[in-house]
Structures are given as structure tokens and as C-alpha cells.
Amino acid sequence: MSPAPGAAREPDHPGTDREVPDLDHPGTDPFTVAEVAAAQIRALSCVDRHEVAIVLGSGWSAAADLLGETVAEFAAGDVVGFCAPALAGHVGSIRSVLLPTGAHALVIGARTHLYEGKGVRRVVHGIRTAAAAGAGIVVLTNGAGGIEESWAPGTPVLISDHINLTATSPLEGATFVDLTDLYSSRLRGLAREIDATLEEGVYVQFRGPHYETPAEVQMARRIGGHLVGMSTALEAIAARQAGLEVLGMSLVTNLAAGISPTPLSHAEVIETGAAAAGRVGHLLARIVRAL
């Protein structure tokens, strides 16, 4: 017998006894796949509800050990719809962490980027899974290029808004979602209670994977951007659709192209991230406890 269309291209997964729908099949409802993934996470972690989700981007992975007690950790490839990470410097695991407040956090170190070419559904699957796992808040972190000269590499910045230059959306069909105050002013206020010196800026998402030309960075600046990166905006849109409150934070790991006289390198990004890891990890842990 041939399988139903859109069914069972994923490998075996624990916590499910039904056929796993294929996220990439146009006939598959991505929210159904997220429900299956959330059920697997419940089964794997024995945690019924994760109240907060945290996506760890470049430079933020040290936070995973500082947030609280890791209750369970699994490879992204063990949960339906998640992909193994494409890149060195990106963690590929998903953790269930018990916070000191008694809340449970789903810590997603396995981000799929648009530039991987796996489609927008994969990019936002972690967000939809977090919502299905019970999260009401998502913290999106990333490494980014800084347009503001005064932001030295290693500076954490709160995202106040975004400009999506990817020419795509995670929403399908006539789904008109309001994005006013997408990066919750309430949550930014809580973050600034932890560190009053935190700066804020507008994040501009490019598709990548190349970095910008200096002219593109000047364009991003003139249209109101302060940070350039290759993630987060699409995830934030999906989070708003799913009813999540969003806190976004960038770690400036490099000055954007043309702002600094030296060319960009991925090695520099990793190095700066590593140097800032402890500091921003502690900052993130303190903020998450206050949410």
C-alpha cells in the first residue's frame, strides 16, 4: 500500500504512534506537525507545559547552561520537523530547562535559517512547536552586524522592531496579522529593569547567506535599521500569529560591512560570540527569570 500523500517521510520518532506528516508537503498543515512535535517533546521531557521558549542564536548558546536545571536534552533530529544545524557555532539540541522560578523553558538551539533553502515552514517550525508546547512568551536571540558605530562587538541590544527584507513571510494565504508592538514593549521594559544600559534597535533581516555590501548596509541604515542579520524577523511574525509575546535580543558580533574598515569573517563572529558568551548568557538568564 502506498502511503497517504504528505505522510511519513520523516524517520521514526519517539512519542508518536501515528504516521508523521511531512512538513514540506503543501497539503500538510504546519500547525498539525507542530502539535506532533510538541507531543514528542512532552513525552521526551515528561514536562507537560513549557511556559517560555528561548531560541539561541550565534553567541548566545552559553546561556543554555545558565538558565536553570536541564531536565531533558534531545537532538533536534529526534523531534519531528526540526533539522540538524547547518553551521559550526550553532547548537543543534533542544532542552527542557527548569527555571529557578519553577517555570519550564523550552530552549531551542536548533535554528533553521532561510538561507538553508529548506523553506519558510522549517524556519518557523520551532516557534509553532513552542506555542503548541504551551509557551506564552518566546525570547529570540541572534548574532548580528551593528550599523551603529558606537556598538562595539560584544554589545547586546534589545530589538525594538524589524524590517523584513527577505521578500517572504511564514504566513500562508490571506492571513493579515497585525505587527504593531511585535517586540513587546512590556518585555523590553522588564529587560531594562535587569540592565538599564541596554540599547534598543531596529533589526533588518536579509536572506543571506552572504553578508551585505557596504551599500546595502547604508540602505539598511537610511531606512531606519540599526542591526543586520539573517534570522528572527520571520520567526517573530510566526510567533505573533501564534499569539506569543516576543522578546528579541541581538548580540553585535561584528560591525556591519563598510562600517568597520576590515572585512567580515565568520571566524570573527564566532570569536566575538565566544568572548561575550558568559556575560550575555548571564544577562539572558537574569532576564528570563524576570519574565
Q: Which residues bind ligand 8IG (CB under 6 A)?
A: 58, 143-145, 206, 208, 211-212, 228-230, 253-254, 256, 264, 269
Residue from 139, 143, 131 nearest 107 by CA: 139
**Cβ neighbour number for residue 138 with a 10 Å cutoff:** 27
Q: Can you say how many angstroms the Cα of residue 195 is from the centroid of all Cα atoms in its chain?
A: 22
CB of 268 to ligand 8IG, least distance (A): 9
C-alpha cell at 197: 544600559
Where is 204: in which H helix or E strand?
A: strand 199-205
User: In the complex, what is the shortest distance from the CB of residue 47 to ligand 8IG, in angstroms, rounded to a whole number?
Assistant: 31
Q: Which of 212, 216, 235, 245 is catalytic?
A: 212
Catalytic residue flag (residue 199):
no
Q: At how many degrees (to 10) do helices 120-132 and 30-45 cross? A: 50
| Residue 79 or 269 with smaller CB distance to ligand 8IG | 269
By beta-carbon proximity to ligand 8IG, the closer residue of 42 and 162 is 162
DSSP one-letter code for 112: P
Minimum distance, C-beta of residue 154 to ligand 8IG, in the bound complex (Å): 12
Residue nearer to ligand 8IG on the CB measure, 151 or 206 = 206
Beta carbon nearer to ligand 8IG, 120 or 131: 120
Compute the least distance from the CB of residue 99 to ligand 8IG, in Å. Answer: 27
168 is written with which cell numbers?
517572504
| Residue 136 or 209 with smaller CB distance to ligand 8IG | 209
Q: Which residue is nearest to ligand 8IG (CB)?
A: 145
Exposed e or buried b per residue across 214-238, where buried means at least 16 C-beta atoms within 10 angstroms of its C-beta = eebbbebbeeebbbbbbbbbbbbbb
* Cβ 165 to ligand 8IG shortest distance, Å: 10
Cis peptide before 209 (omega within 30 of 0): yes
Q: How far is CA 215 from the centre of its chain?
A: 27
Angle among Cα 80, 81, 83 to the nearest 5 degrees reads 110
User: Looking at the annotation, which residues are catalytic?
Assistant: 212
